[in-house]
Amino acid sequence: MSKQNPKRYSLEKINKNISSSKENEKQRSAASFLSKHMKKVYPIGLYKTCSSLSLSSLSLSLSQNSNDSSLADSSSQLDQKIALALRLIESPKRREVPVAKTFQKPTTEAACTEPGEEGFRRCNWITKNSDNIYVQFHDECWGVPVYDDHQLFELLALSGMLMDFNWTEILKRKELFREVFAGFDANNVAKMGEKEIMDIVSNKALMLAECRVRCIVDNANCILKIVKEFGSFSSYMWNYVSYKPIINRYKHPRNVPLRSPKAEAISKDLLKRGFRFVGPVIVHSFMQAAGLTIDHLVDCFRYSECVNLAERPWRHV
């Protein structure tokens, strides 16, 4: 070996030591810089994560991959690499809170079937062309048992008007009739004088003939006599059916009679007591309206309702 060789070897060794010391200094600077920034990003420290990657190995990896000569120049790239390194670290998994599904209620509900449509049948004589007031009378009044004297007198008077009008025409003027006939209170109607009778006859809205008005006044006087004998007009009428409505089971309109043996018996006795315009047909119409007889067709929605009313355990006295 020449003399220059030991010198060259010693110089190379010195250079390696110098470069090694510089490299270690760079690593310590990078580690301190990284630690400073990591506290800002992840203050609790990397040691609390589940990753096997340590701060020293991370800083060493970053310094070895860096080609910059100074740390000042590499600060911006170091921030980017820190972010990249954080992705490699297993961060604590966030617990996902299950979100309950919300079900919105339907905005539209199934529409109720209107009376007269499919599934909600009326008696066949109620048609699409029937007036609303007549339909309402069928749905709410016709066949419902009535026990009040004033209401029974009213229905008897309105039934007598069927000789001149139909139910629709009568029902449209029902409130007017109640007004001029004092709510069909027999005591007040029986006291009507000539002037009051003529005032009613001259009322064009009522369209009542004089004989019809006088008939109602005369029948009011007859009712007062019945009240003295039986206690009430209701007791007299319901006594004919033993205080329980007659429940029929008619399937077709042709089966519903215009008169009945019971109506004929009542008509005969009323005429004997001085009543007017109370033939068997009028009396049977009165019995249907007042619920003394249930003549709704069996497939009509009102049939079962009226039967339930008719079969109530109490009786009128």
Q: What is the pLDDT of residues 149-181, one digit of tens each?
A: 999 999 999 999 999 999 999 999 999 999 999
In this structure, of 101-105, 242-246, 261-265, the range with the lowest mean pLDDT score is 101-105
Q: Tell me the average pLDDT across 266-289.
A: 96
**pLDDT above 80: residue 182:** yes
| DSSP structure string for 250-307 | --SGGGS-S--HHHHHHHHHHHHTT--S--HHHHHHHHHHHTSEE-S-TTSHHHHHHH
Report the percent of the chain where pLDDT is more than 90. 55
Two tokens, residue 157: 């008077």
89, burial (CB in 10 Å: exposed 0-12, middle 13-18, buried 19+): middle
296 is in an annotated binding site: yes
Q: Tell me the average pLDDT across 43-55.
A: 39
Strand extents, DSSP E, the chain? 246-247, 293-294
Q: Tell me the average pLDDT across 217-240.
A: 96
Give the DSSP H or E segment for 201.
helix 194-202
pTM of the model: 0.62
222 is in an annotated binding site: no
The sign of the dihedral angle between the CA atoms of 295, 296, 298, 302 is: negative
Res 85: pLDDT:
61
Q: Tell me the average pLDDT across 241-261.
A: 92
**pLDDT above 70: residue 34:** no
Res 199: pLDDT:
95
211 is in an annotated binding site: no
91: left (phi over 0), alpha (psi -120 to 50) or beta: beta
The reply to whether CATH 1.10.340.30 applies to domain 138-311 is: yes
184: Cα separation from own chain's centroid: 39
Report the percent of the chain where pLDDT is more than 70. 61
290: Cα separation from own chain's centroid: 33
150 is in an annotated binding site: no
Residues 68-118: tens digit of each pLDDT: 444 444 555 666 666 666 665 544 444 443 333 333 333 322 223 344 444
Domain boundaries, the chain: 138-311
Two tokens, residue 302: 């009102």
Enumerate long-range contacts of 170-179, CB under 8 Å, 24 or more apart.
171/133, 171/134, 171/137, 172/131, 172/133, 173/205, 173/206, 173/207, 176/203, 176/205, 176/206, 177/206, 178/154
Query: Between 86 and 124, whose confidence is greater?
Result: 124
Q: Quickly count: other Cβ atoms within 10 Å of residue 135's Cβ.
A: 17
